Chain A
Amino acid sequence: MRIDARVEKMKLKGQEIVLDNLDWQILQQLQEDAKQTYSEIGGKLNVAHSTVFERIQKMEEFGLIKKYEAVVDSEKLGVRKITAQLSIVTDPKEAEDIAKKLSGFDQVLEVSASFSEELIVLAKVVARDQAELHSFIAKSIAPLPGVLRIRTAIVTKKYKDERFDPFSDRKRLDSRKKK
């Protein structure tokens, strides 16, 4: 489940949504397991399932809950793939265009930019194998105007793969209160 991290009090087209502690707890429950029924969530939070339903519906309508999705383990699914992190050194004038074009490719999962000594566009790319990865970079990325150099790191082992948790601050505060 994806949640917009800007919460508490939000406005959209004149509407306003105020999140109370129960909303936060429901969101946290969904974030942990979006397949839970309204009754299960209600049981954990000591509220009626109809209350959970209403709160979730309100947050869906407001766009606070963007969507529910399954996180698929592609290895278990038998889909073999490799992942690579690309650091693309660009001409600053072309960086925006390069990032937009990269975002249009299905093989590119993430695109971001970093400005330190040079303007670098960072991209996470997936491919079936090294040959396909190289072909994609050589034929689709290197020819983009403004690409100066590309450094590619192929991921060989993943140690942690988590999304940003918008509840992390609250969890820390709660654990401090308990102490």
Chain B
Amino acid sequence: MVVLPSRVLRNVNREEAFYFFTSIGNYTGESASSLEEFQQKIKDIDVRSLEFHLFREDFEKWIAQTLGDNRLPGEIEILRNQKITGNALRDRLYFMVSRRLKELKGTVTLR
């Protein structure tokens, strides 16, 4: 699959945004309409929300199916398999998304 940086970095509409929940049906009130906004929300969102969505594979699905990126979902899958939780999860996820953002913006050489 060819990844188009402009597509992955675009802003999506409300219906396609990522909505952060802490458990079934419990919406935090936070959402992300782009990968960049997603990165910012990771910093402060309730860590239970990160654990909830990581377990459900929601991050991978949104990034792959809605934004159209094929690399970041694979990295997040590894994170899930390592069963990392709490702020360690927040830090690792933030690092991964930040690095991918830099790659897509062309400030870091693609591997």
Contacts and interface: CB of A to CB of B under 8 A. Distances in A.
Interface residues of A, number: 20
Given A145-B14, A149-B28, A150-B25, 13 more contacts: A86-B25, A133-B25, A138-B19, A138-B21, A142-B27, A142-B31, A143-B19, A149-B29, A150-B27, A152-B25, A152-B26, A154-B24, A154-B25
A137 interface: yes
Contact of B15 (A134, A139, A154): A139
A51 interface: no
B76 interface: no
Given A139-B15, A142-B19, A143-B15, A134 B25 contact: yes
Given A143-B15, A143-B17, A137 B29 contact: no
Interface residues of B, number: 12
A89 B14 CA distance: 18
A130 B27 CA distance: 15
Contacts of B25: 84, 86, 133-134, 137, 150-152, 154
Nearest to A86: B25
A147 interface: yes
Nearest to B27: A150
A80 B107 CA distance: 53
A123 to B, nearest CB: 11
Interface string A88-108: 010000000000000000000
